[in-house]
Structure formats: C-alpha cells, structure tokens
Structure 1
Amino acid sequence: MQIQKVLAPAMMLVLFFTACKKEESLTSNLNPTPAGNTTTSASDKLKDSILIYSKDIYLWYDKIPTTFNPRSYSDPNTIMTAIRQYSTEPGFSAPVDRWSFAVKQQEWDNVSSGVAGDFGLNVFFNQEGDLRVRAVEKASPAGSVGIKRGWRITKINGNDNITTSNANFIVQNVYESGNTSFTFQKPDGTSVNVSLEARTYQENPIILDSVYALNGRKVGYFVYGSFLGDTTQMYNNFSRIFNRFASQGVQDVVVDLRYNGGGYVNVAERLADYLAPSSANGGVMMTQKFNNKYTSYNSTTRFSKKGSLNLNRIFFIVSNGTASASELLINSLKPYMDVILLGPGKTHGKPVGYFPIPIEDWYILPVSFLTVNKNGEGNYYSGMSISSQSADGLDKDWGDLNEASLASAIRYINTGAFRTTTPGQPLQQNPAVISGNQVLDAPNFKGAIDVRGLK
C-alpha cells in the first residue's frame, strides 16, 4: 500500500510506458553516452547521461538552459526534480511538472508489480485529533486481523498524541516501521489493541463491488483503489463485476476512485471499455502527444466496447488523491456520456506522462508526453472540477449507504439533487488538518504505467 518513504516525494502521480516496444525504440534513439574526458567519475558520467536524455525526450526539453549543471546535484532524483522548474505552459503562472523523478530499478519493480511490504494500513485525519483508517489491503497484516476503514486510532505505541502536529511521528510508525502497536476504537465504541508486523503481500485493488436496489432503481457501486497489480486478476474481476451489474439490471454506476492514484494505463483502458456506452465503440479514447522531436510516436487508442452494460451517465467519487490513469479514464469518457464528479475535492491534475529510461541501476522518468481525449481536452493541470463537494466519510466503512460521498451520489440518482450536509462531517477542513493529511498522503503511490507495445 505504501511506497518506501525515500521514494514518496518523487513518485507522486506517475504516467509512463514500461517494458514495451515503444520504450525500447525510443530509448535506442536517444544518445546515452556523454562526450567528455575519459577520466570523468562514474557518478558524473551518470549525471551527464541523465541530462542528455532529458534534453532529448523531456516534453519541455527546449526550456532547459545550456547552463544547467547536472553534476551540481546529489543524485538522479534531485536532477529530475530540478528540471521541473522549466515546464512552462500558457495560462499557468507556475511550472506544471510536479512529477519527473528517478528511482532505483529494484525499488520501482517492486512497487509497479503491486507487491507491498508494510502493514497495509492507510490513515487520514477526519478532524483535528481524529485519526481514521481510510483503507486496508485485504491480504495485508492489517487486513488479516480484521481492521476496517472507519476505525479510529487513539494510540500508537502507547502515545496518545494523535494530532496533526505529530504527523511525522504517525508516518514513521504507520508507514516506515516494521512493528507497531495500535489502539483502535471501533464504530460501536469498544477499543482493541493490535500489534502489527510488516510483511510482504500482494495488493488487491478491487476493494468492493455491490448492487443496491433503491427506489426501483438498481445502482452498481465499485471501489477501485489502484490500477497496479496482477492485470489478469483485474481483468477477470472486471468481467465478473460487469457481468453481475448487467445480469442484475444495473441502471447507474458509481465508481469510487477517491484514493486511486493510478497504475497501468492498459487496465484503465479496459475499464473504460466496460463503462463506455455502445455508441463509443470504435471512437477515439485518447491520443498521446510527444515533443516535436518524437511526433512519430504520437498514438491514438480507440474504444473496443466490452460487456453488455450500456450507460448514458456515470458517477465518479474523486478527491485530490484521484490522479493520472484515473483522470485519463474520466477524461476519455467525457465526450461520450454524462460524466458526473463528486467527492471531497477536485482531482489532482496530471494530464502528462513518461516511461522509465534505464541508466545503470536507475530509472529516470522525465515527463515525455501529453494525453488528450477525443475533443482534444487534456490541459487539466489544476485538476478536474467536481459537480458537488461531499465529505470523505472517514467514519464509515466502504459501501455504507450513510457514507457521505456515496450517500450524495445515491441521493442525486434518486432525486436529481446532491446531498448538501453530512452530520459530523465538515466539508471544509481547517488548514492544520489539510497540512497534516498532506504529510500522511505523501507516501501513497499515484501514477499510471502503459505496457502496450508499439504497433
């Protein structure tokens, strides 16, 4: 569930190509060998190579000044972070690239395969002093002992200072520790002490799928935590879920992506094929555009409708944690159906992507392409706006019809109006809670990986 802390700042919101012919062809056309003195140190050669690649494939390559000195930075990741400052776009006052990064190959291989080695516990502040479990991986240590979303954490290793000012302590003991003891308060008010030991497990991004019969309508609800993991398993689950939705006569679908930071682009495409109406079949899903040196690699993907579910509208529950491949899915569907976004806030905003370039034992990932939908829309660097704001509902488990965001979607389906208030759930968090949650959210992966070959 968590990326190692050392990777967290760099790996926010990934969208890239990996292990595919496109990557191999592109990287073979780049010049990885810097000219220079043969006495140059191995470290400096590595840094020089990184700059050469970046000045070739980076989407804003022509903005990197000739005076940029990669040798002045400590490692590949700090070089990637430094080039972000040159990502200028019309209409945006600040650089738009928040994502170019570098990572050791072995570390990334573990993350991208959906293999985790932690407690499988994700936490967030509901209010000041009210720390909640917001997600649990089923096969993880936390999932194995029955910990649920919505449980309140009142002590960590005996420390009851569970406040936003102590967020770094929480990160260290929830995401970085190998052994931590917790005191949880359950929804019924009882408390339980649990000691967790980190171990390796395979993540399962399919958190929940349900069908509700409400006022004569069938509503399908699907909570999807990530586009990373075992793709065969995910494809089989899609088939099962949407066959169930169709056989039970589902008329509306709510897809919960509020914590889905992305994953494999081909999995996002498969999900789009199930969600799209029949009229989208054969239509443009998305187009990827590289810089002017690599326009020959621009590519267009078209819908190939799957399943018999034929919707004319779709609801997505989103938040700032909804990123990259999740946004690609939403953006691709917008030209073909009524796409309704609601939730705690607008999406993160990442319409660009990259692929990993191997250099020695590192991958570097300079942003390399922009993705747009059928209508050419894709400049959502500020995030996708929502139709209605609803609280995160951290005090409720998944699928609870009283959970704030799901309840708001259901109310709209039944009445045509969103829920406006949620008892005990503030829509606007105070700055301390927002800041504390940003610290807690930093280790969470957000991104997307495209594994398609070049046709």
Structure 2
Amino acid sequence: MNLKNIILLFFSVLILSFYSCKKESNNSGNAGNTTENRVKDSAWNYAKDIYLWYKSLPSDFNARSYADPDAIMKALRPYSIEPGFRDPVDRWSFAIKKAEWNNVSSGISGDFGLGIFFKSANDLRVSYVEPASPAAAAGIERSWRILSVNNNTTVNTDDATVSRISTAVFNSSSASFTFEKPDGTAIDITLTAATYQDEPIILDTVYNNGGNKTGYFVFNSFLGNVTGIKGRLGNIFNEFSTAGITDMIVDLRYNGGGYVELQNELANYLVPSAGNNGIMLQEKYNDKYSALFDTTINYQKKGALNLNRIFFIITKNTASASELLINSLKPYMDVKLIGRPSHGKPVGYFNIGVGNWYIFPVSFRSINKNGEGNYFNGLQPDATVDDGLDKPWGDINESCLASALHYINDGAFSRISPRAQQDVKLENGNTALDVKRFKGAVGEQRGMW
C-alpha cells in the first residue's frame, strides 16, 4: 500500500469513528443505552455505511434485537443481492472477539491439530495434521481412517453423527479415537488439546516425471508468521529454480485464505517474467468509498522461475485468497485446475474495531487484469477429480496429484470423476466438518478477504 492510500485510510477510519461516536452520543440519554447496546449500534452504523450491498439494507433494521455483533453481521447476509444470482451471495460477514482474532490471524490454534473429511458416506479420513500439534506428536497421519470417536463406532454422514464427531474433534479438550492405518492395523489414541503454531506449508518436493521436473508444494493457509512464511517461500522457490523444474503443481485443496500480503508474495514468484509490473488485482468498494479505497496492485516479479503454465489442486475448501491467487494469474499463464469447484469468495472485508469485537462486513470485490471476478459459484476445475483422502501427502498415486502428473506427461488428465458421484449428503457432511476453518484474506491495514 502506498503512502497516499495509508493516509486516506487513516483519515477515513477517523471519519467513520467520528460518525459512529456521534450516533452513540445522540442516544446517550436513552434508558437502554448500555455499553452492549452502544457496541451493537456502532456495528450497525459501520455496516450500513461500508457494506458492499448497503443499498439493499432495510431502514428499520434493529441492531439491538440481536445477541451480539456477530449475529448482526450474519443478519446482513440475506441482503447481498448480486445481479445474475438468484440467492444472496454473502456467506461470510461476521464478527469475532479481538482476543480470538489475534490468535486466528497469527496462526495460533488450541485444539488437536486434526483435519477430517469423509471419503465416502461411512469412511471418515484424516485429511491433514498440523506438524506442531498433539495429533502430529501422536504420530497420526493424513489418510488414516477413523473407526470410532469416544468409543462410538457409528461413523457416517447423518447430520446428528456429523455434529457429534465435529464437537468431539474441534470443540473438546480431550477425545479418544480408534484409527485404521494404511496397513490395516488398528490403533487407539487419546488426544488432549493444546496450543501450537500452525505450519501452512505442509510439503514441498520435486518429481522426476517422465523426463520432466515438476515442483509440488502443499500450502494449507495464508495465515501465520508472515516473515517466517516469506522466508520459507524464498527457500522453496530457490530449490525449485536450482532443480530446473519445468512445471509447477500448487496444492490449495484445504487453503481457506489468509494474508493478502502472502498471496501477493506467492503470486510474484509464480507469475512469468512477462507479467512483471502488470496488474495483479483490483479491489472495488461501494460507490461511497470507491474514490477513496479502490486499489490496484501490480506484480513485482520475484525469483528466477519463468513458467508458462501452472496446475492448482482445488476443492470446495479452497477459498478467498487462494481463489484470488488463481484468478490473478489467469491473464498471464495457462492455469489448469484439478479437483472440485472452489468455495466461491470473490469479495472481501476489513476488520473494524467495535468495543472488544472486530466486525467484518463484506466491503469490496476483486477483479483481475481482464476485469474477471464474480465467481460466487466457485472456480470450475478443468478436471473433476476426487480428493485422494486414502493417500498421504505427495503420494504420486493420490488422485489429484496423479491427474496433474499424467497431464504433464501425456497431455490428458486422469482419474476423472463425474460430479454426480459426490452426493449431497457427503458434500454437506464435509462442509460441516470444515466450518471452523477460516475463509478469508487479511489485507494490509484494511483487513481481510
């Protein structure tokens, strides 16, 4: 962000704060003017000003009738009327306590460090394990099958079962599991939640693939220690350049987004040299703030790689900053997508402090160099391939990775699956199991996607 934008942002926040405080002071004589109600009033005053679809918000909206700022932000969603879409498009406006957001945004978690998804209706698998987590310390790995949770062997996609399992895995201080390893043996493990630092880059490697050298890395989040992640990316791309890779596969299947600054960093390594100084993305605000906040970010090429095509592995869990990365590169490279349609979040928001809360009303949309965006239905894959949950990271026989490698060798994707094979209950079950994972992108000063 240049100095002009920082100054404009600073004065805009002052104006917004003054506007909100003025509204509160005008109500200072009201009997119901408690601290809690003033926070609710402020949340609504900000939202009705900066919300991307503010013109659709009702004039009689009663913020004080809602439980808290999070409920208010979620109540905005039905008014997100977007041309070309039948249903409201906003699934993301929310609020969160400041202390909790400080942990989320810095990549600090306090759970088992275990991701889970259904491979089929009765087959629940470990999708990922955070390297510094209790699950990793216990030796659990991606692809292990979960046979029981807290001695309950009922494992299926029924709503009640999914709720029970989700509570045990994501909202419990301790839980017991029976796992089946890839060799068919069973093991009982009890996990106790602990605080740890997330590691977003799970794996990086180079494959000698039919005479081609292909770089591959798994990037699970754009959140965490920005300086450390930038250093890791620099090392990875130096290794890829030294190895002389001719193709790249970026695995974003569980990446719900994070810092736009890190998205920009990765995009600058991936874009071809011809894209240097070209438009990476543009952010567009509502008509009240377009002159002040609309922003264009240009590429500043990093590293020696100069690829003309790239492969991304995506799923419904690929969201926001991850989709931004893909969309921003499309005008400059042959971009191939493998997996399932992505989440569909081409809009963003920035964090606004209200009392001990941050509120995040959707405030802007993003487009690429060609003006392309609006992918509320998700980015569509070139090859529909099921997530190979029965294989560990980097296994060349894992469905999505195998499909990309096959294309690099033979010019055609493999492991193609009809979309109908993924039934609604399975998809809904996995969506419920992913509900706690952050989907957004934290921008410089102005917040998040």
Q: TM-score, normalised by structure 2?
A: 0.93
C-alpha separation in 1, matches of 2:88 and 2:414: 36
Deviations 1:207-229 (A, max 9, x none): 00010001110011110000000
1:263-302 per-position Cα deviation (integer Å, ceiling 9, x unaligned): 0000000000000000010001011111111122111111
> By how many angstroms is 1:56 displaced?
1.1
Distance in 2 separating the partners of 1:333 and 1:24 = 31
Deviation at 1:58, TM superposition (A): 1.0
**Residue 301 (str. 1) matches residue 297 (str. 2):** yes
Shift of 1:451: 2.2
Cα distance, 1:21 vs. partner?
6.6
Q: Cα–Cα, structure 1 residues 226 and 22, in superposed 2: closer, same or farther, change >3 Å?
A: farther
Q: Which residue of 2 aligns with 1:320?
A: 316
Task: Say which structure, 1 or 2, has more relative contact order (CA 8 Å, 6+ apart).
Answer: 1
Cα distance in 2 between the residues matched to 1:287 and 1:241: 28
**C-alpha separation in 1, matches of 2:13 and 2:263:** 25
Q: 1:341 aligns with which of 317, 329, 337?
A: 337
Partner of 1:28: 14
> 1:240 & 1:307 partners in 2: Cα distance?
10
Q: 1:240 aligns with which of 235, 240, 244?
A: 235
Distance 1:112 1:94 in 2: 30
Secondary structure class of the residue paired with 1:117: strand
Offset at residue 238 of structure 1 (A):
0.7
1:448 aligned counterpart, secondary structure? strand
Write the distance in 2 (CA, Å) between the matches of 1:61 and 1:453: 18
Structure 2: runs of 5+ lacking an equivalent = 1-5
- 2:203–2:394 CA contact under 8 A, matched in 1: yes
- The residue matched to 2:194 in structure 1 has which SS? coil
For 1:347, what is the secondary structure of its paired residue?
A: coil
Q: Does 2:306 match 1:310? A: yes
1:70 aligns with 2:63: yes
Gapped regions of structure 1 (runs ≥ 5): 1-19
Cα distance in 2 for partners of 1:301, 1:308 equals 21
Please say if residues 391 and 426 of structure 1, whose CA atoms lie closer than 8 Å, have aligned partners that are also in contact: no
Contact 1:130 1:152 in 2 (8 A): yes
Question: In structure 1, what is the Cα distance between the partners aligned to 2:224 and 2:267?
Answer: 18
Change (3 A) 1:185 1:434: same
2:3: which partner in 1? none
Corresponding letter in the other structure for 2:13? T
Residues 146, 412 of structure 1: alpha-carbon distance in 2 compared, 3 angstrom cutoff: same
After TM superposition, give the deviation of residue 452 of structure 1 in Å: 5.2
Q: Tell me, what secondary structure is at the counterpart of 2:428?
A: helix
Measured after TM superposition, the shift of residue 180 of structure 1 is 1.0
SS at match of 1:293: coil
Q: Which amino acid aligns with 2:301?
A: K
Q: In angstroms, what is the RMSD of aligned CA positions?
A: 1.7
Alignment partner, residue 116 of structure 1: 109
SS of structure 1 residue aligned to 2:390 = coil
Show the counterpart of 2:362: 367
Q: 2:43 aligns with which of 28, 34, 50?
A: 50
Structure 1 residue 181 and structure 2 residue 176: aligned?
A: yes
The answer as to 2:256 corresponding to 1:261 is: yes
Seq. identity, %: 52
Q: Contact 1:389–1:427 (CA<8 Å) still a contact in 2?
A: no
Distance 1:427-1:311 versus aligned 2 partners, 3 A rule: farther
Deviates more, 1:289-298 or 1:147-156: 289-298
Question: Match for residue 96 of structure 1?
Answer: 89
Partner residue, 2:217:
222
Partner of 2:239: helix, strand, or coil? helix
Match of 1:200, SS state, is strand
Asked whether 1:329 is paired with 2:325, we answer: yes
TM-fit CA distance, 1:420: 3.6
Deviations 1:157-202 (A, max 9, x none): 2111112221111111111111111111110111111111110000
Residues 281-296 of structure 1 aligned to structure 2 (within 5 Å)? 281-295=276-290, 296=292
1:430 corresponds, among 423, 429, 435, to: 423
Name which of structure 1's ranges 321-330 and 84-93 shifts more when overlaid on structure 2.
Answer: 84-93
Aligned to 1:9: none
1:163 matched to 2:156? The reply is yes
* Cα separation, partners in 2 of 1:98 and 1:133, compared to 1, 3 Å: same
How many corresponding residue pairs? 432
